[in-house]
Chains A and B, each alone.
Chain A
Amino acid sequence: MINKKGVMGEGILMIYRLLLISFIAFVIMGVSSVFYAHYVDVRDAEARILARDVMECVSPEGILNLDGISVEDRKNILSYCGFGSEDVERFYVELKIENSGKVIWLSQGDSGALWVLDIFESDQLSEGLRKYEPGYYDWSYPIYVLENGNKFEAEVKGQVLISNEF
């Protein structure tokens, strides 16, 4: 005569053992995923490319014609340069044109992303968080500016920040 309670007990024990083995297998797989995964960061390179594109757009041949950039376009400089709205969500671009105390700003994006960069410049962050560090490029050089028909020399200081794609 078969002991039915004994058979059910064996079944429950088997399920428990299988669950335990599956759990151990998942833990080992999870650890190996973390160990072998590597994030390839190309955002600094993207920032340089975007900086080049923006400068070629606003100052072809080295002359920045402010008469051709409206007040609205000065706050949406990436859209003015032909970049789509979906593309620009990760970007912050800022151009500061300075001449004899007068400052003109051309920008687009969330300037708050710059303080995120400041956090990552601290050495205390772990390697695991480094993949969230934004890509960044800044530059500064003299440029000719055309405004109201007047041409004058100014200095342009630019920053491009690219957030992660997650």
Chain B
Amino acid sequence: MTIKNKRGGLLNQVIVHIVLVGLIFSLFLFATAGKINSRGVKQQVLEKQLALLVDSAVPGMSFEIERNNINGVVQKIEIKEGKIFIMVGGLGSFKGYPYFSKYSVSVREEENKFIVSVR
């Protein structure tokens, strides 16, 4: 007859509990940290600023957006389906913001900036 060591069994359970609770809280902290840093608000500001610039532009104008922006590090700017998507501070953009310019708008990536042209 094998007698199970009760203390060893209890310790195992406690460790498993602690590890699982720690995993849940670390996921929760990472997710909350993103919200507290207001990355979403900064992304909104950049997308809407650029949309307004594009809306009010006439053909021949172009705008430069530095990668090291006051609203964070801009990793990617995309213009597709009539919307502007800006990835900033590691936060991807899924909704974007629509613009209504009737001219052709394109974006070109350079080493330390993005150039948005209206033609």
Task: Please list the residues of chain A having a beta carbon within 8 angstroms of any beta carbon in chain B.
Answer: 1-2, 10, 14, 17-18, 21-22, 25-26, 28-29, 32-33, 36-40, 42, 45-46, 49-50, 52-53, 81-84, 86-88, 90-91, 165
The secondary structure that dominates the A interface is helix
**Cross-chain contact B31 with A29 (CB below 8 angstroms):** yes
A1-B3 Cα distance, complex, nearest whole Å: 6
A96-B25 Cα distance, complex, nearest whole Å: 60
The secondary structure that dominates the B interface is helix
B1: A residues at CB distance < 8 A: 1
**Cross-chain contact B28 with A28 (CB below 8 angstroms):** yes
Q: In the complex, which residue of chain A has the Cβ closest to the Cβ of B23?
A: A18
Q: How many B residues have CB within 8 A of the partner chain?
A: 31
Of B38, B41, B44, B100, which is within 8 A of A46 by CB?
Answer: B100
Q: In the complex, which residue of chain B has the Cβ closest to the Cβ of A46?
A: B55
B27: A residues at CB distance < 8 A: 25
A95-B88 Cα distance, complex, nearest whole Å: 40
A40-B98 Cα distance, complex, nearest whole Å: 14
**Cross-chain contact B45 with A40 (CB below 8 angstroms):** yes
Determine whether B82 belongs to the interface, using a CB cutoff of 8 Å to chain A: yes
Determine whether B52 belongs to the interface, using a CB cutoff of 8 Å to chain A: yes
B16: A residues at CB distance < 8 A: 14
A10: B residues at CB distance < 8 A: 13
**Cross-chain contact B4 with A2 (CB below 8 angstroms):** yes
Of A17, A26, A53, A87, which is within 8 A of B98 by CB?
Answer: A87
Please list 22 pairs of residues, one from A and one from B, whose beta carbons are closer than 8 Å in the complex, sorted by A's number: A1-B2, A14-B13, A14-B16, A21-B25, A29-B31, A29-B32, A32-B32, A32-B36, A33-B35, A36-B35, A36-B38, A37-B41, A38-B41, A40-B44, A46-B52, A46-B55, A46-B100, A49-B56, A82-B102, A83-B102, A86-B82, A87-B82
A46-B32 Cα distance, complex, nearest whole Å: 32
Of A25, A32, A88, which is within 8 A of B35 by CB?
Answer: A32
B29: min CB distance to chain A, Å: 9
| Interface set, chain B 19-59, CB cutoff 8 A to A | 20-21, 24-25, 27-28, 31-32, 35-36, 38, 40-41, 44-45, 48, 51-52, 55-56
